Structure 1
């Protein structure tokens, strides 16, 4: 049924699944004509997911149901499609008299191409397309060196970031003020997971609250995987069910260390923007393309399944496989182990994390993997090879974390180490040195 008589604007949700403090949504509602809230389960992305129990799709649907309930109280509804964005917009253009489409920036290579395609499609129909900064505090060229070039080292970037921070950047957008502008219509159904070919797991997700107590102890406790010392907000930041501005506001008064973690997010998004090749599988430092990886498939399989015989590595991989989460310190250990102990291309590990992590974010995942492999910006030097035994002694001395995920630790069934540490370190240094001399 066509509603061509009423001019409308559309707000397109993507990585910003909340009504509260949402930049693009605020601008859409403020523009003065009724706003239709839209979400598209993008088949270009979903059709590539092999795991049909992918909990990220379940997380997104849960966030949409929450927004749907809020919109229902305002007499409005989310319009949710499962399809190809261009086709969905063609359909919407037939049905409604659309004046403008509003959304928030997305910096990933696929998203850039998708948005350009939608912009052209709308332009052909005299419909304007507006996008806003929402998922980071500073983006693109907002924090750069004096000569306008991007930073490639975190510490000076973070100093400049903090110096540039004004209250204005952390101010929430008062979306509530314009709630009456949501397009009024009866509730519409959100596609079920089954109808899109996915399965429901009904496993709980981490809460989206940031406890004051956690912030106070964050610096002291964040590196110990057996302690609940990290926020586990990664999935909420990834899909925008929490506002980065509100988190930064809270952290700036309570925990410099937590604020630095948020700055790392901005840093990696800035790197992806200025150096898009890293999002397309290229090493940030081109000379690292010369490394002759061993790429042993059996060893990779043992790493994936947590059977390397290195308990801290195995615990991390099992935690990831079972929960979609891995403690940040352990992420560094397992990534270093794959790239340096086993000399398996970091891109294999990056792709595995992309499949498994609930909070998978291209910019941060790529940044973390290249950091561990030595090929990234501001990376650990190639000759720094994490020793899993020392990391265990330092960060899981009582083996609490390890015993949780590797219960057979003291049994004969637990595998022998896949490689001896000193041998692996020597082999890694020789291989890297050879490649980097070229």
Structure 2
């Protein structure tokens, strides 16, 4: 019998438009393997919300594989060692995978390549990261010209259908039991809101896409309104690779209206991967070295108040509570909440990044780091630090009253006019942790103080 090939799975948990499965199946028997490798990422091991999602995604992928005469093999440990164990059991010497760009996965791919014939495929982005270059052959650092160049290469190739069957090996290697990995919260079980909101897995991703396609033409007008269903909510499905960006693109690109704004958000995913390809430590290091001199405040109580949605700013608190309950936060509110932490509280952006890493079901190293550095003004392409978002104004501008009522029930009785900025906080709701004018002045002073004498010159 032909020697089997391993399909090494990570953030590519699908069968449709999955080039690693297609290539392996063309060669003969296929052994799908997911390795829970917490050693390679070190401090970037998956957070609690991501692990909840992973459990259910793996469960559903295994069910889909069994319908095709296959199954999912689970291993835990260092990826190259776990895959070597499969080779000893089955004789497999070829590994197919979709290429990943987080620094730890690039290291893991090099380790696997020393022991196997490793065949990496592209398929998690619109174009392979690192392939969209300037006229001088350099990678882009700024999003707008990057997106312009990427757009010229669109549309992506049409997605490939899922295989009807997958050839099985002569015998299957040992597998861990998913239940033994302890990915689900038990004491306490804090995932009730996530169960109510999400259906992880490839079928859940397709359902989200169908629902979004009906309103994709209005994306530009509605995406900033937290009180309406204006965003796609495809981000966790895209992060775990339960659906390919090419599939999403072809499903909505011809919807007209403002769908181009949404396609640009797909392009932002590609941009973030290109950034971490150039700056592997982007998740922990300021891209602009001048900000290494900014004196962040170490304010544990205020950080905790932000995390718990107890800042006294209703739009911020609503977002942080939505995050805790569902593992997700509306995109406009993410910007408001992130800006509040960095500029109103003057707390290091990395504190917020780590909190999002643990609580977001779509926690993605590239996007999380790029978005936080954009907000903080520390990134290679970023908002200016001195542009300080006014959360109370943002709340009114984007009509967040119904959103606040949903997530901050202490304020539900207030009128649309008062709910954005209660004059007298009702019982059980905190007063503002700091006034906007005071926070703005403090942030600008800290920014000014970090400058060298040369930088301070007019």
CA contact (8 A) 1:306 1:314 kept: yes
CA pair 190-218 structure 1, distance change in 2 beyond 3 A: farther
2:352 matches 1:337 = no
Is 1:253 matched with 2:267? Answer: no
CA shift digits 1:197-253 (9 cap, x unpaired): 643646141542222222122111110111111111111011011111110122322
Q: Any stretches of 5+ residues in structure 2 without a counterpart? A: 412-424
Shift of 1:62: 2.1
Give the Cα–Cα distance (whole angstroms) in 2 for the partners of residues 186 and 98 of structure 1. 11
Counterparts of 1:269 and 1:225 in 2: how far apart (Å)?
A: 27
Contact map agreement 1:75 1:186 (CA 8 A) in 2: no
Aligned to 2:215: 214
Q: Which residue in 2 is equivalent to 1:238?
A: 239
CA distance in 2: counterparts of 1:77 and 1:23, whole angstroms: 18
Confirm or deny that 1:130 pairs with 2:119.
Answer: yes
2:32 is the alignment partner of 1:37: yes
**Greater shift in the superposed pair: 338-347 or 131-140:** 131-140
* Greater Cα offset, 104-113 or 63-72: 63-72
Displacement after TM superposition at 1:45 (Å): 6.8
**Separation (CA, whole Å) in 2 of partners of 1:426 and 1:345:** 17
How far is 1:75 from its partner? 2.2
1:16-415 matches, within 5 Å, as: 16-30=12-26, 32-44=27-39, 54-120=48-114, 122=115, 127-165=116-154, 167=155, 169-176=156-163, 179-183=165-169, 191-196=177-182, 198-199=184-185, 201=191, 203-204=195-196, 205-206=198-199, 207-208=204-205, 209-210=208-209, 211=211, 212-254=213-255, 255-279=259-283, 281-397=284-400, 399-409=401-411, 410-415=425-430
How has the CA–CA distance of structure 1 residues 316 and 197 changed in structure 2, closer, same or farther, with 3 Å as cutoff? closer
Check whether the contact 2:125–2:244 (CA below 8 A) recurs between aligned residues: no
Partners of 2:228 and 2:376 lie apart in 1 by 27
Which of 8-17 and 106-115 deviates more? 106-115
Q: What's the offset of the Cα at 1:361? A: 0.2
Report the aligned-residue RMSD: 2.4
Q: CA deviation at 1:139?
A: 2.8
| Alpha-carbon offset, residue 413 of structure 1 | 2.3
Query: Cα–Cα, structure 1 residues 172 and 68, in superposed 2: closer, same or farther, change >3 Å?
Result: same
The answer as to whether partners of 1:102 and 1:131 remain within 8 angstroms in 2 is yes
Q: Is the 8 A contact 2:69 2:167 kept in 1?
A: no
TM-superposed deviation, 1:55: 3.9
The alpha-carbon deviation at position 160 of structure 1 amounts to: 0.9
Paired residues of 2:49 and 2:358 also in contact (CA < 8 A): no
**Residues 96 and 353 of structure 1, relative CA distance in 2, 3 Å threshold:** same
Once residues 117 and 46 of structure 1 are traced to their aligned partners in structure 2, the CA distance between those partners, rounded to angstroms, is 14
Partner of 1:432: 447
Distance 1:346 1:315, change over 3 A: same
* Match status 1:423 vs 2:417: no
Aligned pairs, how many? 422
For residue 47 of structure 1, report the CA deviation from its aligned partner.
9.0
Q: Is the 8 A contact 2:410 2:426 kept in 1?
A: yes
Contact preservation (8 Å) 1:77, 1:187:
no
Gaps of 5+ in 1: none
Tell me if the contact between 2:291 and 2:450 (Cα under 8 Å) persists in the aligned partners. yes
For the 8 Å contact 1:26–1:174, the answer to whether it is kept is no
* Structure 1 stretch displaced more, 224-233 or 246-255: 246-255
C-alpha distance in 2, partners of 1:107/1:23? 17
> 2:8 touches 2:34 (CA, 8 Å); kept in 1?
yes
Give, in whole Å, the separation in 1 of the partners of 2:410 and 2:70. Answer: 54
Question: Helix, strand or coil for the counterpart of 2:145?
Answer: helix
Q: Give how far 1:187 is off.
A: 11
CA pair 436-130 structure 1, distance change in 2 beyond 3 A: farther
The whole-number CA distance in structure 1 between the counterparts of 2:234 and 2:184 is 24
- SS of residue in 2 equivalent to 1:44: coil
Does the 8 Å CA contact 1:58/1:193 hold for their aligned counterparts?
no
| Pairwise CA distance, 1:186 | 7.2
